[in-house]
A and B are shown apart, each in its own frame.
Chain A
Amino acid sequence: MQHKDKTPQAPEAWKPRLLAIFCNWCTYTAADLAGVSRMKYADNVRIVRVMCSGRVDPQFVLDAFARGADGVLIGGCHPGDCHYIEGNYKALRRSELLKRMLADMGIEPKRYRLEWISASEGDKVQRVINEMVTEIKALGPLDLPGRAKAWDEEVAELEGELKEKKGECANV
């Protein structure tokens, strides 16, 4: 919350947008289980299914933030249980450095999370999503598209100024 003053103000109707990328074999199945067991969790989450958490390229995470996600959650099988043997270790290795890099770029650590959730842990899906939504609500919107727009205003301003000048003096 140290950057609260700089965080875009949460409008009244703002609902955090959480992107979840779940592996087919464990976490997605767990989310399915949570669904059929009628476990309620926050409706702010959009779930994308990939075959393995090892398939989650850090480019996906940055892309999600750049397109307006307020948080990204990755779910994979517990260590030792990966359907492809090593995929979740790859996810973990990338994640450790990605977390540091995101922090260096000003994205609060709570906006990114990697969790091991097995196919039977529907309740963990429910708990993790609810926790993350609460934490992100406390942080406020990330609103990267809005910030990028604000950064570009200074260029647009100059364009306006030049057009004005051009009107005055045909030579510029």
Chain B
Amino acid sequence: MSKPKVAFYWCASCGGCEESIVDLAEDILGVVAAVDIVLWPVAMDFKRHHVEAMPDGSITATLLNGAIRTSEQEEMARLLRRKTQVLIAYGACAQSGGIPALANQFSREQILKYVYEDSPSTVNPEKTRPQTRFEEEGRVAELPEFRNVVRSLDQVVDVDYYLPGCPPTPKVLKGALEALLSGKLPPKGTILSPDTATCMDCPRLDSKPQDLAIEQFRRPHLTAMDPEKCFLAQGVPCMGSGTRGGCEAQCPKGNMPCTGCFGPTSKVHDQGAKLLSALTSTLAAKDEAGINQALKGIPDPVGTFYRYGLAKSLLRRKVDLQ
């Protein structure tokens, strides 16, 4: 019997998700032995035309990471969807837009102008911008189009499963690969991580007060953080209560508050709005002046509450951008 074929691909990605596959360490040898890897641009030399030549549905599973920003990423997502039986959105960017989706607060023009003209490290007196078509001596190069909106994978193609995390941990990846290889697949659409809040795995949970009565929100880099006490009890915004578990509370264990990369639990509709609600309603102040004083510690609510999920939020994007 031939081995199952697996593809890994990256779109608008930082490379961390790819790295996390290597983080399987010696377990990767088991994976490599059990499957045929048919596409993995970061590690192996396969070209797009190799994938195009495969019959539709011939790849058993594709783990695709990164958000969708360019036309090339859209095309690859569609191509891989067609060639694949089980398409997995791998990591926060593929699942919900991730960090790249924070760019949904800016227009395409604002981004291109900053990157190619205004950023302090840019030297570009001719204000050259990337072109989608370039011709020289009869040869033509076509480059991808930069789209207006950053999207999650499922906003472009049908997705079978989600592996959350920025990046997913080796443990959730291993669990997913085992499920795939054993053929014991959960219902379509399942997020392959426990549906409990991160707080439940956090060693600081016992020190989380019943009534938080937060006096002042504090920013982590300006605060000496007690390594044992619940961050909320110290006024440091922590997203553990609205964030799906599965990461084993690695950040709180490393003295950093949870920033929400595993996405919401199934009971939460819009992660950012829910977290905003959970954190602010516990403030001590009862008047506008006091509340706004306490809120000074959250200068960027969108970046704080939608750090990984702006593309999948109810608003999706800053609404008045062209």
Contact = CB atoms under 8 A, between A and B. Distances in A.
A66 B280 contact: no
A57 B302 CA distance: 17
A62 B315 contact: yes
A134 interface: no
A3 B322 CA distance: 10
A42 interface: no
A135 B272 CA distance: 28
A96 interface: yes
Interface string B292-322: 1001001011100100000001111111111
Interface in A108-129: none
A98 interface: yes
A77 B79 CA distance: 56
B205 to A, nearest CB: 23
B319 A106 contact: yes
A119 to B, nearest CB: 21
Contacts of A101: 272, 276, 301-302, 305
A61 B292 CA distance: 20
B243 to A, nearest CB: 15
Nearest to A101: B301
A159 B276 contact: no
A104 B74 contact: no
Given A62-B314, A151-B148, A154-B149, A96 B280 contact: yes
A84 to B, nearest CB: 13
Given A63-B269, A144-B319, A148-B316, A97 B149 contact: no
Nearest to B305: A101
Nearest to A107: B319
A59 B314 contact: yes
A162 B320 contact: no
A142 B92 CA distance: 29
A93 B283 contact: yes
Contact of B314 (A63, A100, A104, A162): A63
Contacts of A155: 74, 147, 151, 155-156
Given A59-B269, A97-B295, A155-B151, A144 B315 contact: yes
B273 A59 contact: yes
Contact of A93 (B49, B270, B280): B280
Given A66-B314, A93-B281, A94-B280, A57 B320 contact: no
A61 B280 CA distance: 16
A105 B315 CA distance: 8
Contacts of A90: 281
A35 interface: no
A94 B281 contact: yes
B286 A79 contact: yes
A83 interface: no
A131 B57 CA distance: 58
Contacts of B225: none
Contact of A96 (B105, B272, B292): B292
13 contacts: A57-B273, A65-B315, A79-B287, A94-B277, A94-B280, A94-B281, A96-B295, A101-B301, A144-B319, A151-B317, A152-B155, A172-B52, A172-B79
Interface of A: 3, 6-7, 54, 57-59, 61-63, 65-66, 79, 89-90, 92-94, 96-98, 100-101, 104-107, 142, 144, 147-148, 151-152, 154-155, 158-159, 162, 171-172
Interface of B: 49, 52-53, 71, 74-75, 78-79, 105, 147-149, 151, 155-156, 269-270, 272-274, 276-277, 280-281, 283, 285-288, 291-292, 295, 298, 300-302, 305, 313-322
List 8 tightest A-B contacts by C-beta distance, closest first.
Answer: A106-B320, A62-B314, A101-B301, A58-B273, A90-B281, A106-B319, A66-B314, A106-B318
Given A6-B320, A105-B315, 12 more contacts: A7-B320, A57-B273, A58-B276, A59-B273, A59-B314, A61-B273, A92-B286, A97-B301, A106-B320, A144-B319, A147-B319, A171-B53
